[in-house]
């Protein structure tokens, strides 16, 4: 592994280039991820944001190489992790990488919890696997208590089983397990959706610490732009399997130009200060991923749709790191 | 007028390795017909347990539940089966709440088939398509499976299932938490429209105050199994009185970049819900904790019409602020 400045913050850890993923079901082919590219440096956090069905989880599963065997396929592109293309790795190699270097917090906590093992033992198990400091059993047990407290669960409950916890508590236990692994890349798929704001703040602080202390890079999949604002260095907005806008957090939150979809997304957030009876979702639904429209995938819902948008897929308009795939900004060229 | 739902000193204790866990401890709520009660509070405070106990999906340890004035706490199996038609639940988790091996058709058909509502397959099919339309699910998804759909569409299936038997009361247990804002707004609007059209009564469980603000008439704030504040929604946002409610309101993340910003985190040990000591359960984390806060339980008290708070010092705190 001859990557020179390997531990330098910001040096590249993950490069995704033109990734395409499909699902083949009995009836149709689902075009879930359609040519996305992004890069993540060490100690960096990128937020993947987008409506349900945008392809966020699919992207994460592709990186982990955990797409459903019979139906999910990477159709093209590269996923370079520490310089090596994960797409070309064998499953046994991937198992090792998943154990040691990349870990994922799944959207559904029960995917990663063993229903018949006390939760404390599950955290302990993952600490034991990653025990590079050769801590004694006693110290490891202390660490279990610490991790549980950190996610707001009383250590005295470590002998209880997953079904004895609430939804949000299960999610927190999964987070504790993922953190116990001390991965280099942590993919968190909606890690705080079931958590109230006070516990969410605690968990996010914990993740920030992990980043500072261990230099962990993170992909934060979330629909909560508030969480993105607090934790992410970079943001990629996904729509129908594509990145429609990406850039630094400043670009996406404070930049002048935006993709109309990004504007809609910000507009649909319930506003606590405002008195309204109705909320303002973006009209219409995401297109059917088995039958994507020609041109820009957002055009059927776009208030600023032009003729060209119905015919031609827009290229990226770029300004520094900020990319926007919209004809509004590229039509001059 | 008799409220549609009323609980009296409702309790649910679970046996866990460390003792008796007080998940719901002496909760009294009422929900008038056609209205929505929002139930908020931190993860693990007992919201889902309260919802399920009200529906008798879980047996209460003690206390009573009234539905249309009738005590249903001791309802027999047969009576419960009839009640199920009137009381439904929508779950948070569109992943684990839908059987992955059942198609949309079968999922929506299940409650109708269980209750033998239709004799003819054609009537069943009509009703299913009608329900799909009602919840905004395109007909072509009728043969899809849950894993082939995104979270928003899965949740529409959950809503259609809950509506199938024409219920009067629905417990919505975090129905939008797993969804992105835009779809959240669509589902919330759907639930509000359905309420208007069908006269439904909701108990809306969430940890997200910005969501509950739009849909609830009244809000009950729970902390470790107890209701600590209860009042009309507008009043809660204008005059939050319990220190825990205030902390909840101030911790909402804002979709704006704020340099070097960290949200206020409630510090201090969480007290245990297992065989808890008498006294305010928030005391150990409360900045304003005083001598009278521990030792004996603190009941809800009406401070202004319809505004109930379980904090002996909340009035002083309000004055101090001004
Ligand atoms: N196993 C599968 N078989 C068929 N289609 C699938 C499968 N998994 C996902 N899809 C489809 O692929 C598309 C992308 O799904 P994905 O789960 O990646 O979205 P997401 O952005 O994570 O959405 P959410 O916010 O709901 O989690 C969706 O249209 C979805 O229905
Ligand atoms: N079957 C059970 N056995 C033992 N304890 C349980 C059981 N179900 C819930 N509990 C406990 O009861 C308490 C309340 O859980 P509940 O699921 O009602 O919380 P909640 O407010 O819905 O939380 P969340 O927001 O995370 O869903 C928790 O401490 C939980 O561990
Ligand atoms: Mg997902
Ligand atoms: Mg719950």
Say if B257 falls within a structural domain: yes
B19 lies in some domain: yes
Residue B247 confidence (pLDDT)? 85
CB A24 within 8 A of CB B155: no
Say how far apart CA B98 and CA B105 lie, in whole Å: 12
Are both B100 and B222 inside the same structural domain? no
Do B177 and B122 belong to one domain? no
pLDDT computed for residue B281 by the predictor: 94
Overall number of domains in chain B: 2
- Identify the structural domains of chain A with CATH numbers, from first to last: 12-89+226-330 (3.40.50.300)
Between CA A158 and CA A162, with CA A161 as vertex, the angle to 5 degrees is: 105
Are both B236 and B158 inside the same structural domain?
A: no
Give the residue, B10 or A175, on which the prediction is more confident: B10
CA A115 to the chain's CA centroid: 25
Q: What is the pLDDT of residue A42?
A: 92
Same domain, B75 and B122: no
SS3 A269: coil
Min Cα distance B60 → chain A (Å) is 16
Q: What is the pLDDT of residue A276?
A: 59
Is residue B180 a part of any domain in this protein? yes
Asked if B18's CB is within 8 angstroms of A157's CB, the reply is: yes
- Please give the Cα distance from B249 to B40 (Å, whole number): 11
The pLDDT, as a whole number, for residue B49 is 97
Q: Which residue has the higher pLDDT, A253 or A179?
A: A253
> Which DSSP symbol is given to B165?
T
pLDDT at residue A195, as a whole number: 76
In this prediction, residues A185-200 reach a mean pLDDT of: 82
Q: In this structure, are B69 and B205 located in the same domain? A: yes
User: pLDDT value at position A285?
Assistant: 78
Q: Are strands B30-31 and B5-16 parallel, antiparallel or unpaired?
A: antiparallel
B123, B141, B163 - which closes a domain: B163
Average pLDDT on A193-218 reads 81
B116 is in which domain, residue-wise? Answer: 96-163
Question: Given an 8 Å threshold on Cβ–Cβ distance, is A272 in contact with B252?
Answer: yes
Residues B159 and B281 in one domain: no
Of B95, B214, B264, the CB nearest to A270: B214
Last residue of a domain, one of B132, B163, B194: B163
CB of B83 within 8 A of CB of B77? no
Residues B263, B308, single domain; the answer is: yes
- The pLDDT score that the predictor gives to residue A112 is 83
Relative orientation angle of helices B181-198 and A260-267, to the nearest 10 degrees: 50
Could you tell me the CATH number of the domain that includes residue B49?
3.40.50.300
pLDDT digits (tens, 9 = 90+) for A269-322: 766 565 555 667 788 878 888 899 999 999 999 999 999 999 999 999 999 999
Between CA B43 and CA B250 the distance in angstroms is 17
Burial class (CB in 10 A: 0-12, 13-18, 19+), A250: middle
Residue A6 has pLDDT above 90, yes or no: no
Q: How confident is the model at residue A10 (pLDDT cuts 50, 70, 90)?
A: low
Q: Answer yes or no: is pLDDT of A67 > 80.
A: yes
Decide if pLDDT at A7 tops 60.
Answer: no
- What pLDDT is attached to residue A185? 95
Closest by CA position to A265, among listed A245, A250, A293: A245
Angle at B238 between CA B236 and CA B242, to 5 degrees: 50
> Phi/psi class of residue A190: alpha, beta or left (left: φ > 0; alpha: ψ in -120 to 50)?
left
pLDDT at residue A4, as a whole number:
45
**Predicted pLDDT of residue A333:** 47
Q: Residue for token digits 């409610």?
A: B245
> With b meaning 16 or more CB within 10 Å and e meaning fewer, what string describes B4-14?
bbbbbebbbbb
> Which residues are within 5 Å of ligand 4 (an ion), measured at CB?
A 166-167; B 48
How far from B214 is each of A65, B93, B208, CA to CA, in Å? 40, 21, 11
Q: Is residue B181 part of a domain?
A: yes
**pLDDT at site B208:** 80
Tell me which residue has its CA closest to atom 24 in ligand 2: B43
Residue from B14, B50, B51 whose mutation best tests the ligand 2 pocket (most atoms within 8 A of CB) = B14
Residue segments in chain B with a per-residue pLDDT below the cut of 50: 322
| Substitution candidate for ligand 1 out of A19, A22, A23 with most atoms within 8 A of CB | A23
Q: Does residue B216 lie within any of the structural domains?
A: yes
Q: Please name the residues in contact with A222: beta carbons below 8 A apart, sequence gap of 6 or more.
A: A47, A48, A49, A188, A190, A191, A192, A193, A228
Alpha-carbon span A164 to A119, nearest angstrom: 10
B107 and B68 assigned to the same domain: no
Which has the closest alpha carbon to A228: A208, A249, A200?
A249
Same domain, B174 and B134: no
Which residue's CA is minimally distant from atom 16 of ligand 1?
A: A55
Q: Do both B171 and B43 map to the same domain?
A: yes
Same domain flag for B296 and B272:
yes
Cα separation, B164 vs B19, in Å, equals 40
Supply φ then ψ for residue A33, to 5 degrees: -130, 125
Last-in-domain residue among B163, B186, B207? B163
Alpha helices in chain A (DSSP H): 56-64, 91-100, 119-129, 137-150, 167-180, 197-214, 225-231, 249-254, 260-267, 307-311, 327-330
Q: Is residue B91 a part of any domain in this protein?
A: no
Is A161 near chain B, with CB under 8 Å?
Answer: no
- DSSP H or E segment with residue B130: helix B121-134
* pLDDT in the model for residue A273: 60
Asked whether residue B187 is assigned to any structural domain, the reply reads yes
In sequence order, the β-bridge partners of residue B10 are B27
B20 lines ligand 2 (CB under 6 A): no
Between the CA of residue B305 and those of B38, B149, B235, B302, what are the distances in Å? 19, 47, 10, 7
Q: Are residues B46 and B183 in the same domain?
A: yes
Range A92-98, long-range pairs (CB < 8 A, 24+ positions): A94/A64, A94/A65, A98/A64, A98/A65, A98/A66
* B72 within some domain: yes
Q: What is the pTM of this model?
A: 0.84
């Amino acid at each position: 592994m001859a990557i020179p400045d390997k531990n330098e913050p910001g040096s590249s850890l993950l490069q995704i280039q033109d990734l395409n993923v499909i699902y083949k079901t009995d009836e149709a082919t689902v075009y879930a991820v359609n040519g996305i590219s992004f890069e993540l440096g060490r100690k960096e956090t990128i937020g993947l944001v987008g409506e349900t069905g945008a392809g966020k989880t699919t992207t994460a599963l592709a990186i982990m190489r955990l797409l459903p065997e019979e139906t999910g396929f990477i159709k093209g592109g590269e996923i370079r992790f520490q310089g090596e293309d994960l797409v070309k790795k064998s499953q046994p190699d991937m198992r090792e990488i998943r154990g040691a270097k990349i870990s994922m917090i799944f959207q559904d906590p029960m995917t990663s919890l063993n229903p018949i093992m006390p939760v404390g033992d599950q955290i302990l198990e993952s600490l034991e696997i990653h025990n590079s400091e050769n801590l004694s059993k006693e110290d490891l047990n202390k660490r279990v208590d610490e991790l549980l407290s950190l996610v707001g669960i009383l250590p005295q409950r470590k002998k209880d089983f997953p079904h004895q916890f609430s939804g949000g508590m299960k999610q927190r236990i999964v987070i504790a397990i993922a953190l116990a692994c001390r991965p280099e890349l942590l993919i968190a798929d909606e890690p705080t959706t079931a958590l109230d704001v006070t516990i969410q703040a605690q968990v996010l602080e914990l993740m920030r610490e992990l980043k500072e202390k261990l230099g962990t890079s993170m992909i934060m999949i979330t629909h909560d732009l508030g969480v993105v604002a607090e934790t992410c260095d970079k943001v990629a907005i996904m729509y129908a399997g594509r990145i429609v806008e990406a850039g630094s957090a400043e670009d996406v939150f404070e930049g002048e130009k935006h993709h109309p979809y990004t504007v809609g997304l910000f507009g649909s957030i319930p506003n606590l200060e405002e008195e309204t009876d109705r909320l303002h979702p973006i009209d219409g639904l995401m297109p059917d991923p088995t039958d994507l429209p020609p041109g820009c995938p957002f055009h059927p819902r776009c208030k600023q749709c032009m003729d060209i948008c119905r015919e031609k897929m827009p290229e990226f308009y770029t300004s520094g790191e900020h990319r926007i795939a919209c004809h509004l900004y590229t039509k001059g060229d | 007028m008799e409220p549609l739902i009323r609980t009296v000193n409702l309790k649910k204790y679970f046996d866990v390795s460390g003792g008796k866990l007080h998940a719901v401890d002496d909760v009294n709520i009422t929900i008038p017909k056609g209205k929505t009660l929002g139930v908020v509070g931190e993860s693990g405070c007992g919201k889902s347990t309260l919802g399920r106990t009200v529906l008798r999906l879980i047996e209460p340890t003690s206390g009573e539940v009234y539905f249309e004035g009738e005590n249903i706490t001791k309802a027999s199996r047969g009576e419960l089966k009839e009640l199920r038609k009137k009381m439904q639940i929508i779950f948070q988790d569109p992943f684990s709440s839908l059987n992955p091996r059942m198609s949309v058709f079968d999922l929506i058909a299940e409650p109708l088939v269980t209750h033998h509502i239709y004799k003819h397959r054609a009537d069943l099919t009509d009703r299913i398509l009608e329900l799909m339309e009602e919840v905004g699910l395109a007909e072509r998804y009728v043969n899809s499976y849950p894993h082939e759909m995104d979270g928003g569409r899965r949740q529409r299936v959950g809503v259609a299932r809950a509506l199938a038997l024409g219920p009067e009361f629905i417990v919505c247990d975090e129905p939008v938490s797993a969804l992105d804002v835009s779809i959240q707004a669509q589902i919330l609007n759907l639930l509000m429209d359905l309420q208007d059209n069908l006269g439904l009564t909701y108990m809306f469980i969430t940890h997200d105050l910005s969501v509950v603000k739009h849909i609830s008439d009244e809000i009950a704030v729970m902390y470790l199994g107890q209701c600590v504040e209860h009042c009309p929604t507008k009043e809660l946002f204008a005059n939050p009185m319990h220190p825990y409610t205030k902390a909840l309101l101030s911790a909402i993340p804002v979709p704006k970049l704020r340099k070097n910003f960290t949200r206020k985190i409630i510090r201090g040990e969480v007290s245990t819900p297992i065989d808890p000591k008498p006294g305010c359960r928030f005391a150990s984390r409360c900045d304003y904790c005083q001598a009278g806060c521990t030792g004996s339980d603190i009941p809800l008290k009406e401070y202004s019409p319809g505004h109930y708070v379980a904090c002996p010092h909340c009035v002083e705190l309000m004055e101090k602020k001004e």
